[in-house]
Amino acid sequence: MPISVETQEQALQIARATQKPGQTKEQTKLIAQGIEKGIAEYKKQQKAKARERDRLAKKLRANKTALADDDIAEVTEIAPSTVRVWLPWALLLLSWLIFAASWLF
């Protein structure tokens, strides 16, 4: 992975800012290269963390969707079963009402 020009400039600025008296340009360059590598490694770690966060977020969204689908399925299953429970009672009541009406008239 090539190091960007911006990263190289940042590293050189930091190396110059921390330069000690009597330090040669070669030493400053070596320090700047070390800082470049550190910045590059930091950016690589941050990208890896961001990818991991994205994976977790995607997994959570998938789980929420799956749970919502399960809830809808449960509601769909519950609704017909309640109708099935009341249907025989409603028919029994209706038959008694018809019997009572026919007996009275």
Domain borders along the chain are 5-77
Query: Is the CA virtual torsion 60, 66, 71, 74 positive or negative?
Result: negative
Residue 51 has what pLDDT? Answer: 95
Tens digit of pLDDT for each residue in 34-82? 999 998 899 999 999 999 999 999 988 888 887 776 666 555 555 555 6
**Both structure tokens of 17:** 């800012």
Greater pLDDT, 75 or 17: 17
pLDDT at residue 47, rounded to an integer: 94
Q: Residues 68, 74, 80, 82: is their CA dihedral positive or negative?
A: negative
What's the mean pLDDT when you consider all of the chain?
Answer: 83
pLDDT of residue 46: 94
Q: Classify the C-alpha dihedral 66-72-75-77 as positive or negative.
A: negative
pTM comes to 0.53
